[in-house]
Structure 1
Amino acid sequence: MSKHQIHLPFLENLWRLDLQAAYRVSIVDVTYRGDCCPDNRKDFQIRFSNSLKDEGNDNPRCAVLSTIPAGATYSYSCHGMEGRYVTVNIPGTSMVLTLCEVGVYAIFPGNSELLNDLAILSFKNVTQSSTYGLWSAEHAIDFNPGLTKSWSACSSSNVQTNPWWRVDLSYIYRVSRVVITNRLDCCPERINGAEIRIGNSLENNGNNNPICAVISSIPAGVSSTYICNDMEGRYLNLIIPGDSRILTLCEVEVYGEGVIKQGKSSYK
């Protein structure tokens, strides 16, 4: 997958990057310092747009960085938000913003390979083991990470044994990585232990396919990336093994090389 990455260190209560042109931004990586000051790494905001009104602080928001462990790097999905200016700030007075590394991944105009890669989940068939209220399976691929209203932007199962969510990619892809966004408003621990599985079988609703990764934890509102090393498959599942579990997904993104061949279901 092609990408454009910019790394700059900075120290201020506002940080801004001029991309020199408007791009659709897919991912922003942020690395926090490892030596001190944990109280200064709360409520960062990442914003994108073409405006410099109020130094860019009124631009649309990609994510809120609720917390980053010392020395850690977290990925935040911006879902193709378009803009020339990338702004990171902390609202309020007497605040200190410390950023040790910022990586911005943007789509270059005319890069059809990347555009196809980002569109793997567009208009695909999704389902889940059960649905809590209005939290339908489709909300996990609606390009809305649910930072303001989780109930209208995230999927969720009922309380049950082994809850799962599945997308049918229609074709077989080589999947390089999967990005999962956890809900911001509460209960981030619910995602702990979720398995990402990729394959061509629908045995056990696809939950017997090979494992790409096991999610140990994702902080509230954070998008975490899981490397799948070009695993091949038509079906991508997330399942949390165990009793009395709830699977909530605010966004699922799948990145890969493109169609390998027409997908065929397998019931071994």
Structure 2
Amino acid sequence: MVDALNIVITDGRCMQQTTESYNVHPWWKVDLEANHCLGRITLVNRGDDRNERLNGAVVRAGIHNDIFNNAACGLPVTRDQASIPGAHLQIVCDPPVIARYVSVDDDFHVNGEWDNLLTLCEVMVEEYPMEDCLQTTEKNLLIFLFGILVWFYPLSCLCLDLTALDLHGMQASQISDYENSKFSAASRAVDGNLNTSYADGSCSNTGYNAHPWWKVDLEANHCLGRITLVNRGDAGNERLNGAVVRAGIHNDIFNNAACGLPVTRDQASIPGAHLQIVCDPPVIARYVSVDDDFHVNGEWDNLLTLCEVMVEEYPMEDCLQTTIAMIVNPSVSITCLSTLMFVDKEITNARPLSVVHMKSPMQCFMRCKMNNECWSFDYVMTSGQCRLYDVKAGDLKADDQPDCLVYAVVRG
């Protein structure tokens, strides 16, 4: 609803389908009538009863009238979020998204076929000024690569091809092994064996856990574009319903962002299916993981079984189009970028133009782009500190600093 704020449905201020209109996949949509640069969308949940129906709801934003062609903002509403009557649930679009349509949809596999009404007491949308968000024209395409901002000019950069990573022998781990048996070890999911029969010893399998997880260490950072899960083919394949694939630089998997959306019930219903999860945009990652919250499958059936995990990457040099040498060596020709980056560095050879606090590297980048004197900035992931500098790429000096990112901005 977009009328006035009230969280009691009997007052007639909340949108809900009639009891005759239960749907397998209910949805709601608003047309903003023009493109906007959206940063945050807030859902106001029902406050009198049935607030739990919002569990699993997905917020989407994009330019397409068909909502299922638009990407999701953030992750779906969790059971804990939906459990609070009248809650204001903030969904952050990070990076911001250009959108005319905002929608909310919910797959019945989360809430059950006979309780799948979508109720919204208010939807609130917040935007960035378009000129500040983009600082560009239609000829430019802004891509956010896990904290790495790259400004491409169409046709000036090569298209990239995915190649498979060889995961055999890489260190895999999981929350527990089923019945403490090596037969179900985490390494079974990266042994190169695509057999989908658990009985043949080719699948990993956790014990019963409230939130089971599996993880592999790629031993170095890679630019990941696609992750494929091979589901069990003999029995129990439906347990993969709701599984989330994450990729990132953190050993603690829950500090890494999700790639794509969770596995759906329809996907998990196919025995032995190869489920492709696309990381769009690509993500810089050393760790790939899969986890599943028990509220989807039930506390007593929450095993995580993986018969194989396959990872595909873009060449790092093509994905980033840069190395640290490009930043410190001014003789290197830069034709495709507006931003170059150090990881775990801080600028040490200049006083900042200003110091502010921002919620993400994207917001720090936009603040720099708005300041014509700013040529570089550093951003501390843990505190949100954003320092702007007038130091150009060729003059930049940086020292080690954990959880800090340094960017050199190329203008013009």
TM-score by length of 1: 0.51
Show CA shifts across 1:120-169 (max 9, x none).
42321110000112111011011212235545100000011110000111
Show structure 1 runs of 4+ deviating over 3 A. Answer: 147-151, 258-261
- The 5-angstrom pairing of residues 93-108 of structure 1 reads none
2:168 corresponds to which of 122, 143, 150: 122
| Equivalent residues in 2 for 1:23-172, closer than 5 Å | 117-132=163-178, 133=181, 134-172=183-221
Whole-angstrom CA distance in 2 between matches of 1:234 and 1:118? 15
Equivalents in 1 of 2:250, 2:197: separation in Å? 36
Identity rate, percent: 27
Deviations 1:179-221 (A, max 9, x none): 111011101110000000111112xx31231010311133111
Deviations 1:71-109 (A, max 9, x none): xxxxxxxxxxxxxxxxxxxxxxxxxxxxxxxxxxxxxxx
Q: SS state of the match for residue 207, structure 1? A: helix
Please state if 1:237 is matched with 2:289.
yes
- The residue that corresponds to 2:263 in the other structure is 215
**Can you give the 5+ residue segments of structure 2 that lack an aligned partner in the other structure?**
1-159, 318-322, 324-342, 345-381, 383-401, 404-412
Given that residues 197 and 232 in structure 2 are in contact (C-alpha distance below 8 angstroms), is that contact kept between their aligned partners in structure 1?
Answer: no
CA 157–197 in structure 1, closer or farther in 2 if over 3 Å, else same: same
Determine if contact 1:120/1:255 at 8 Å carries over to the other structure. no
Cα pair distance change 1:221/1:174, threshold 3 Å = same
Computed over aligned residues only, the root mean square deviation of the Cα atoms, in angstroms, reads: 2.8
1:228 lines up with 2:279 in the alignment: yes
Q: In the superposition, relative to structure 1, how do residues 173 and 160 fare at CA in structure 2: closer, same or farther (>3 Å)?
A: same
Q: Given that residues 207 and 239 in structure 1 are in contact (C-alpha distance below 8 angstroms), is that contact kept between their aligned partners in structure 2?
A: no
The offset of 1:228, in angstroms, is: 0.6
Query: Structure 2 vs 1, CA of residues 162 and 149 (structure 1 numbering), >3 Å: closer, same or farther?
Result: closer
Bigger relative CO (Cα 8 Å, ≥ 6 apart): 1
1:211 counterpart SS class: coil
| Letter paired with 2:254 | N
Letter in 1 for 2:303: I
| 1:226 positional shift | 1.2
Looking at CA atoms only, which structure, 1 or 2, has the larger radius of gyration?
2
Residue aligned with 1:201, SS: coil
Shift of 1:236: 0.7
Structure having the higher strand fraction is 1
Assess, with a 3 A threshold, how the Cα gap between structure 1 residues 168 and 196 changes in structure 2: closer, same or farther. Answer: same
Provide the residue aligned with 2:246 in structure 1: 197
**1:207-258 deviation line (CA, Å, top 9, x unaligned):** 2310103111331111111111211111111000124411000010000014
